[in-house]
Amino acid sequence: MLIHETYPKLADPMFVQAYDFGDCWTRVHPEGPFEELDVAVAIIVTRANYSKMADLLGRSRSSVRNHVERNMPLRDLMQEVWETFLDQIEGLHQDAAMSGDLGVQRFFLQTKGKDRGYVTRSEATGKDGEPLAGTVDFTKVSSDVLEELMKARESAGTE
């Protein structure tokens, strides 16, 4: 069951904004169980930030995290809020890219445009583009030497 079905007021920004964490059950009873509505509102208000949620609820970060991880509707809400946050940040970066920010444009091409070939490639070479020390240029090895190397590899096994 979705948390919004249990607590439809979570969809009301005024309800969430006016929520009184100073007087909520979870904060007032620090040794008692968590109240699901308190945690749900904390998730929304803090954009799924465990440390900020712990501050609002008067509990430790680890206890809040453990409670959320054991509660499927709260876990789903955390994921939904986190994905919405990422969408918003991504939207801001898209706006910046469309406004001409070359750094953000490059970032998008290198991350979102990988499948179109916009990737950073690095090559390992020695000084002035020469081969790295210890590499063998097989074009300069005689066919007799290549044959000996192949026989040696075969007799050693294919590792």
* Domain residue limits, the chain: 3-99, 129-156
Q: Of 20, 89, 7, whose CA–CA distance to 48 is shortest?
A: 89
pLDDT band at 86 (very low <50, low <70, confident <90, very high): very high
pTM, rounded to two decimals: 0.68
Q: Of 42, 53, 48, 52, whose CA–CA distance to 81 is shortest?
A: 48
Which pLDDT value is given to residue 126?
75
Cα separation of 131 and 124, whole Å?
8
Residue with tokens 């050693």: 156
Q: Of 116, 80, 111, whose CA–CA distance to 94 is shortest?
A: 111
pLDDT exceeds cutoff 70 at 1: no
